[in-house]
Amino acid sequence: METPNTQIPKANVPGKRFTTDYPLIDSDPHWRRAFRYARPRDWAIGAGAATLGPLFMLTTERFAPSFAGKGAFGPPFRLSIAVGVTAGLGLVYQRSCLRFYGWMENEREQGMDMREMVDKVKKGEPLYGESQLSPYMQGVAARNSRFSALMFHIVPMANFTNHNQHGVDTAKYYQQAERELEAARGR
């Protein structure tokens, strides 16, 4: 007979599979990885978005001055800079994640992902990093942040944990590592 404190092992809950024009790289990329894989164009778009708030305030003050007095413009202007930078970084993160999801062209990211993961396989490192969390908590973290970039403008949430639930078959990394090692031995 089972005691009430016995833990029943739970299976991983797979993420929803979407039909996309490009292959899925990762359904829950770690935030560092998303920023590392961001393209220069993503950074340019993020920088442009970051400047919109402060630029709007400067333009408004130039053509329709508030006459609020000395020191009244500075604090709201600094706040608009902070909000703009946060929005710009969020946009960079979101665009990078859309490539991981396969919703935008991602050929460059596929190559970077394969190279990074094959190198980890060759070194004997875990593919998605080591985690201090229990497998159950890793699953909770994965379910909470999977595809979170889609609603990043509403609820800014990202993956800050290492777990192995990323919605892709990792066998391809091991097979590629074997092919590369065989080719190196054949030389």
Question: CB of 158 within 8 A of CB of 149?
Answer: yes
Domain that holds residue 137: 31-186
Note whether residue 129 is domain-resident.
yes
Residue 26 within a domain: no
Q: What is the 3-state secondary structure (H, E, C) of 34-53?
A: HHHCCCHHHHHHHHHHHHHH
Residue-wise pLDDT tens digits, 56-67: 999 998 898 888
Across residues 113-126, what is the average pLDDT?
91
Residue 49 resides in a domain: yes
Does residue 169 form part of some domain?
Answer: yes
Q: Would you say residue 141 lies in a domain? A: yes
User: Per the structure, how many domains does the chain have?
Assistant: 1
What is each CA distance from 52 to 40, 76, 78, in whole angstroms? 19, 14, 13
d(CA 87, CA 46): 8
In this structure, are residues 170 and 108 in contact, taking their beta carbons and an 8 Å threshold?
A: no
Does a structural domain hold residue 155?
yes
In a domain, residue 1? The reply is no
The whole model's pTM is what? 0.84
Distance CA 50, CA 114 (A): 32
Average of per-residue pLDDT across 95-103:
93
Residue 2 placed within a domain:
no
